[in-house]
Amino acid sequence: MLLYLVNRFFLKRLEIDGPLCRLIQWHLNDFLGEIVFLCYVNILVKAGGYQRIVKLPSILLVVLMTCIAWEYIIPFFIKYSTTDIKDCFAYLLGGITYWLIQQAETP
């Protein structure tokens, strides 16, 4: 969450240009957001009495739904929202990172 806040309120306001800077400014929050979103989904799933989402196929399904929702449906309703396939790749990397974290925590 700290990385998100640093990117949102500090890094995005820097006037530095370059591919790495643009990657961080434009896609870091999508990467981090997917990790946080999967945590939130698991809180809701667990509260509903279901098993947490920890298997890669289930995580990838959530990533796919995130991509479809934010990149293809939401732009119809929010004028400043645009479709960017690179965001879907950031969601995918976030989902895989979440899965790797889950694997590291499982004994």
DSSP 79: T
Give this prediction's pTM: 0.82
Question: What is the per-residue burial (b if ≥16 Cβ within 10 Å, else e) of 55-82?
Answer: eeebbeebbeebbeebbeeeeeeeeeee
pLDDT of residue 53: 93
pLDDT of residue 50: 94
Q: Find the angle CA(36)-CA(90)-CA(16) to the nearest 5 degrees.
A: 105
Q: Kindly give the parts of the chain with pLDDT less than 70.
A: 1-25, 106-107
Q: Find the angle CA(61)-CA(19)-CA(37) to the nearest 5 degrees.
A: 25
pLDDT of residue 105: 78
Alpha-carbon distance of 76 to 10, in angstroms, equals 29
pLDDT of residue 7: 61
pLDDT of residue 59: 97
